[in-house]
Each structure stands twice: as structure tokens, then as C-alpha cells.
């Protein structure tokens, strides 16, 4: 504010030292000081600070991206373990059910190949019961092609895309090896058996079997018409005991839990 010589200067202004200001009395030196104060009080980041901030963010992003593949691999392995556990329970229950397994259509619809069993059924089309009969062939039976049966199956649980027919080229699959051993001897008197007696333990010992399923995955694609023989690191062994009579049937064996040998 410019002072007018004809205006009366307030008493407070006349008593103030030169270069100071009071309300209603502004001088050029006061305006210049305020402008300089605003100019020197403006703050901002320097280029060095911005470069350091970008370097820290880039380092953190590299660490996060580096951990992501490991996390995805763990997720995939957990998913495959879950699928194998669920399918193993289904296959064991089908073996235990014997003739009742004919309704488990997912066994035959997801079968990609089988080896080590007797001759394939008529027409080469396996029913669920045909597959169960071959998985129940005991180790001591030397009349079959081999006493260790292996089946190549698509996943019966998990994503619908994996279980859908016609997606075998990309769907998750595994090979299961079935081994059946009589707890003591065999039902055809080809091995040592406990002498029969009225004791329930003797009957149970002669009608008790161990079923061992070995799962291997992932399956590497083999030549057309050749059973796969190369697998990844995935491996799971499932064991259970089944009581009942193991009867010889066309194409293999079937468990019958309602009858026992010697009763």
C-alpha cells in the first residue's frame, strides 16, 4: 500500500522502526520480505531422490515376481495331490464293492489304457466291472499276462475340463499300479494257509487281503498305442485291507465281502 503524503499517518506507524509493518501500514520493504519468504519456502523432490525411489520399487517388484513361480508350483502340486487322494478313495471303494462297482461309470469313461491284465473284453470296451476285475488280480496268480496291473486314467475329480472326454491331450492324468496280496496264502490253496478251526481269527486270516495302489504323475505322452512309461516326480502309495472272499471271474477277480472262505 503506497502512503499518501496528504493522509495522516497513524501514530503506531510513526513510532515503529523503519522496515517494519503494522496493520494498516505497509511499506515496500515488507512486501519484498514476504515475497522472498514464499520463494524460499517451496519444497520438492530432487532427481536423485526420485531415482532412488524408483530403484527401491523396482527391487521390490523383482522380488515379488521371482516368488510368484514358486507359489504357482506349490498351488499346482497341492491341486494334483488333492485329485489323486480323491481318485484313490474312489478306486479303493470300487475294488471293495466288487460287483457293486458296475455303477461307477467314471472308471471306464476316464480309462485311457491298461496293461498287465488278461485279454481285453469283447470289442475292447471296458466296463467299470471289467476294470475292477483286472485291478483285483492277485500277485500270486501267474496265469495272467502279469500279476501287476497298471491303468492309465484321466482325473475323475477336479476341473470339469480335465474329466471331459476328448481332452486327454491336455488334461491331467496318472498311472495307477494295483497289487493285491493275500494276508496268508491264497484262496486257491497255492500257498500256505492257516488250518481252519472254529476260531473267527482263523477265518479272518484266510480271507484278509492287502490292496496297494501306487499312483504316478504327471504322465509324459508316449507314442500312439504305447502304454506310457515316463512320469514326473509325483508319487503316492495307498494301502488298505479288505476282508471277504476273492473269487475268480472272467477277466480277473472280484471281492465279495458277504462271503468268507471256510464258512
pLDDT of residue 163: 62
The angle at the Cα of 132, spanning 127 to 138, to the nearest 5 degrees, equals 145
Retrieve residue 45's grid coordinates: 523432490
Q: Residue 71 class from Cβ within 10 Å (0-12 exposed, 13-18 middle, 19+ buried)?
A: exposed
DSSP 8-class letter at 207: T
CB 231 within 8 A of CB 206: no
Could you please report the per-residue DSSP string of 10-50? PHHHHTSPTT--BTTB--HHHHHHHHHHHHHT-----HHHH
Grid coordinates given for 183? 494276508
The per-residue pLDDT for 85 is 95
For residues 236 and 252, give the distance between their C-alpha atoms in angstroms, rounded to a whole number: 25
Q: What would the pLDDT profile of 212-247 be if each residue is shown by its tens digit?
A: 999 999 998 877 888 899 999 999 999 999 988 888
pTM of the model: 0.70
Counting every residue written for the chain, the total comes to 263
C-alpha grid cell for residue 70?
A: 514358486
pLDDT of 179-218, one tens digit each?
998 776 544 544 444 554 555 556 666 788 999 999 999 9
How many CB atoms are closer than 10 A to CB 39? Answer: 8
pLDDT at 191: 45
Distance in angstroms between the alpha carbons of the first and the last residue of the chain: 122
| DSSP symbol at 185 | S
Find, among 260, 160, 153, 157, the residue nearest to 209 by Cα: 260
Q: What local confidence, expressed as pLDDT, does residue 38 receive?
A: 56
Hey, which bits of the chain come out as E strands?
111-115, 149-154, 173-182, 208-219, 231-243, 245-249, 252-256
Cis peptide before 203 (omega within 30 of 0): no
SS3 257: coil
Residue 156 in contact with residue 106, Cβ under 8 Å? Answer: yes
pLDDT, averaged per 10 consecutive residues of the chain (263 residues), comes to 50 52 52 55 81 91 86 90 95 93 87 77 84 89 73 86 62 92 60 51 74 94 85 94 89 86 65
Amino acid at each position: 500500500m503506497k502512503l499518501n503524503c496528504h493522509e495522516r499517518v497513524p501514530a503506531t506507524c510513526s513510532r515503529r522502526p523503519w522496515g517494519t509493518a503494522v496493520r494498516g501500514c505497509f511499506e515496500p520493504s515488507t512486501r519484498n520480505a514476504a515475497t522472498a519468504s514464499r520463494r524460499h519456502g517451496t519444497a520438492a523432490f530432487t532427481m536423485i531422490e526420485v531415482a532412488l525411489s524408483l530403484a527401491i520399487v523396482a527391487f521390490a517388484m523383482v522380488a515379488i515376481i521371482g516368488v510368484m513361480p514358486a507359489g504357482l508350483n506349490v498351488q499346482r502340486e497341492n491341486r494334483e495331490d488333492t485329485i489323486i487322494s480323491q481318485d484313490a478313495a474312489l478306486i479303493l471303494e470300487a475294488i471293495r464293492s466288487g460287483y457293486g462297482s458296475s455303477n461307477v461309470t467314471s472308471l471306464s469313461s476316464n480309462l485311457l489304457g491298461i496293461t498287465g491284465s488278461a485279454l481285453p473284453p469283447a470289442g475292447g470296451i471296458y466296463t467299470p466291472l471289467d476294470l475292477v476285475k483286472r485291478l483285483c488280480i492277485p500277485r500270486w496268480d501267474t496265469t495272467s499276462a502279469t500279476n501287476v496291473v497298471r491303468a492309465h486314467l484321466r482325473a475323475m475329480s477336479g476341473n470339469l475340463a480335465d474329466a471331459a472326454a476328448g481332452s486327454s491331450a491336455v488334461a491331467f492324468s496318472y498311472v495307477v499300479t494295483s497289487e493285491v496280496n493275500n494276508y496268508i496264502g491264497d484262496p486257491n490253496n497255492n500257498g500256505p494257509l492257516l488250518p481252519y478251526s472254529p476260531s473267527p481269527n482263523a477265518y479272518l486270516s484266510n480271507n484278509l487281503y492287502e490292496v496297494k495302489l501306487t499312483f504316478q504323475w504327471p504322465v509324459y505322452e508316449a507314442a500312439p498305442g504305447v502304454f506310457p512309461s515316463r512320469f514326473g516326480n509325483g508319487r503316492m502309495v495307498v494301502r488298505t485291507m479288505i476282508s471277504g472272499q476273492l473269487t475268480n471271474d472272467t477277466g480277473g477277480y472280484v471281492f465279495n465281502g458277504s462271503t468268507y472262505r471256510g464258512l
